[in-house]
Amino acid sequence: MNEYLIDDISKLSIYQKENNIEEYNEFVKKTALSNISNKYFARPWENHIEIVYWQGFLDVLFSRGIDNIQNVKNDLLEWLDDPCRLGFAEVCDFIVQNKNQFMPLLKRKIIHEFYNKEFQYVIYLVLVYNKCSNLPKDIDSIVNKLDEFDIEGINEDIAIHAYKFVFMCLEFNWEEELPLLADDCNEVQKFVIERFAKSDLPNDFFVQQFDLPAKKPFCEKKYWRSFAKILTSRKLENTPEIYKKLLIWLQDINWPGSDIIFNFVVENINDFSYSIKETLLEALYNNDDVWIISILTAVYKNKGLTNKEINGQLEKVQKLLINENNFENLIKLFDDILD
């Protein structure tokens, strides 16, 4: 089937188009009427076709008309993952001209690639979507920076507007969006964190890593820093059931997010007062000196002590912790510190 094209493929090169446009157009029409599949023309990179023929392949597809190339609409969207790809601008124009055929597909593609973390690709897709769509006013105000379709002009500001647009398209689904909370994500993460923070998920959802036995994916530390940001961005007043679990974060200062929780405890020490006393006793019974020191450091910080003064106070505590007979003295000391 492909011998027809292979024998005369030079007639579809960009050089032929530049030198003899009439002969080139005639060959495009002739090839469009052949029985060569749409797939062959839609993904030339998969067939190792030289790039000088790609424009000709697109011309063949476009001359067949949108109704006759329904089976390769998804393939055409693949051309948009690289603005330097020959034919990128032509595919963009074709999609805009046939926007009614491509709009639902574009939206699904944007969501799919977003979850795959192909964020640069998402920006290009959103730019095309914006050219196709009569956006509602509430969305239009968000994507006003995308009005001029200029790939060379993409910057962080445009990217942020693109991501905001994407999130307005997406219904919240924690299982699909959880991977975007991992520490290897880029600036998209702050939008995901905001969505989780505003969701109906209970606070306990973000401290499941401390429940035993810990279950996946919550025990995976790559999510913990984002969990800490989500919790501290919520209003946690009058939620004593969560305070004690937050203090577990201070058991190990190397755990992702422990610095965020530490600062949150310092700033909201009154809310944590009862839970701190309970947790100090638990740590004392379990001989967890590191946990005790971490919690007391937060308490002293809240009192406005300097680092030198805090270190002096902690040295006294550490001397008492060395001797098991100081149990009652330590409990009294904790009471004094918390008063």
Amino acid symbol at 172: F
- Is the same domain home to 22 and 142? yes
Assess whether 34 and 173 both reside in one domain: yes
What value does the CA radius of gyration of the chain take, rounded to a whole number of Å? 30
- The per-residue pLDDT for 16 is 75
Do 159 and 249 share a domain, yes or no? no
If asked whether residues 182 and 207 sit together in one domain, one would say no
71 is written with which tokens?
Answer: 């089976």
Statement to judge: residues 185 and 118 lie in one domain: yes
Q: How many structural domains are present in the chain? A: 2
CATH of the domain at 234: 1.25.40
Tokens matching residue 294? 């971490």
Own/partner contacts of 174-180, CB < 8 Å, gap of 24 or more, are 174/199, 174/201, 176/115, 177/115, 178/217, 178/223, 179/115, 179/117, 180/115, 180/117
Q: How far apart are CA 31 and CA 291, in angstroms?
A: 75
Per-residue pLDDT at 145: 44
Domain boundary, last residue among 192, 224, 257: 192
* pTM for the predicted model, two decimal places: 0.71
236 lies in some domain: yes
Distances (CA, A) of 265 to 112, 229, 246, 271: 39, 13, 9, 8
Please, what is the Cα angle at 104 between 103 and 110, to 5 degrees?
85
Give the integer Cα–Cα distance in Å for 274 and 32: 77
What the block records as the tokens of 92 is: 């963009």
Same domain, yes or no, for 254 and 113? no
Tell me the C-alpha distance between 232 and 226, whole Å.
10
> Are 274 and 219 found together in one domain?
yes
| CB-based burial label for 18 (10 Å; 0-12, 13-18, 19+) | exposed
Pair (22, 79) in one structural domain: yes
Same domain, 25 and 138: yes
Residue 111's pLDDT is 79
Q: Are residues 216 and 160 in the same domain?
A: no
Looking at 192, 221, 247, the residue that finishes a domain is 192
Q: Is the Cα torsion angle 196, 202, 203, 205 positive or negative in sign? A: negative
327 and 182 fall within a common domain: no
In a domain, 198, yes or no: no
Q: pLDDT tens, position by position, for the chain (339 residues)?
A: 444 555 567 778 876 777 888 888 888 998 898 888 999 899 998 888 888 889 999 999 999 999 999 999 999 999 998 888 888 889 988 998 998 899 888 888 887 888 787 878 888 888 888 777 754 444 444 444 444 444 455 566 666 777 777 777 778 888 888 888 986 666 778 888 999 999 999 999 999 999 888 788 888 999 999 999 999 999 777 777 789 999 999 999 999 999 999 999 999 998 898 899 999 999 999 999 999 999 999 999 999 999 999 999 999 888 888 877 778 888 888 888 887
Domain boundary among 170, 192, 214: 192
Query: Is 197 contained in some domain?
Result: no
> Residue 235 carries which side chain, given as an amino acid letter?
K
CA distance 59 to 25: 9
pLDDT for the residue numbered 196: 94
Its domain, for residue 55, covers 3-192
Question: Are residues 188 and 230 located together in one domain of the fold?
Answer: no
The set of residues, in sequence order, having a beta carbon less than 8 Å from that of 96 and lying 6+ positions away, is 128, 131, 132
